[in-house]
A and B are shown apart, each in its own frame.
Chain A
Amino acid sequence: MIRASCHCGAVEIEVDTKPRSVTSCNCSICRRLAALWAYYTRREARLVSSEDAVSAYIWGDKMIEFYHCNTCGCPTHYEDVEKEIDSRFAVNARCMPQDAIAGVPVRPFDGASMGRTNE
């Protein structure tokens, strides 16, 4: 199990396994948040701190909720707006301990050319 947390520690997430890879997307939101997404399902990852510690940002086609800490602003995770037990729970691996993700490959994803932009 790996525990991820934002800078100030108000948001904590538990995941069952080390990610096999993390995704670096260049779309307008991901490039600003600089997130490295580690993909899980809602069975495999969970918010263990209070839901009051985070805010969701929803834009564009309004399919995804991007969560960040209300105190330090760190982007922590995203989820589908429509949640099911096996729907995606993506964790920002920058919130995981450095040694927990050492050696994990970073996969670039060209979200920008898929029209995912507000620019």
Chain B
Amino acid sequence: MIASRSYPGACHCRALGFEYRTALEPRKWPVRACQCTFCRAHGGLTTSDPRGSLTLFERVPGALNRYRFGRKITDFWVCRKCGTYIGATMESGGRSYGIVNVRALQPTPDQLNEPQPMNYDGEATAERVSRREERWTPIAGD
């Protein structure tokens, strides 16, 4: 069993941040370039590890914009002050799951994989939720 490591991240002004823990080395991380309208507009590149853990936090009260659209099952964490998209969370069955935007990692790990374009347009909501339960990172403490 390889010990997990912590990978911190933050928006530019540091009002929002996260701690992502995974035992995977960065060169083994999936890096996904979701092709939905939100992720394309934000240039989001996201990663997750279902065996890892994730905490997202708001350091400056009021800075967190939880943007929802479409099916409104996902909170996209955007900073109201600097405009950075740091990650997203979803609740299901009393637990929460999340992804982080690798562009907000600080520092950026070396040897990240080339982003893979992902298109989830055809998914039914139940399929989407179960995919995320399998692939996204559990939120710590849930």
- Measuring CB to CB, which residues of chain A are less than 8 angstroms from any residue of chain B? 6-8, 28-29, 31-36, 55, 57, 59, 66-75, 94-95, 98, 118-119
Contacts and interface: CB of A to CB of B under 8 A. Distances in A.
B12 A94 contact: no
Interface string B103-127: 1101110000000000000000000
Contact of B107 (A59, A69, A95, A119): A119
Interface string B52-90: 000000000000010101000000101111111100000
B99 to A, nearest CB: 15
8 contacts: A6-B41, A33-B43, A33-B83, A34-B45, A72-B67, A73-B78, A73-B84, A118-B12
Contacts of A69: 83
B83 to A, nearest CB: 3
A102 B85 CA distance: 24
Interface of B: 11-13, 37-38, 40-45, 65, 67, 69, 76, 78-85, 103-104, 106-108
B65 A59 contact: no
A32 B67 contact: no
A7 B103 contact: no
B103 A73 contact: no
A28 B41 CA distance: 18
A8 B67 CA distance: 10
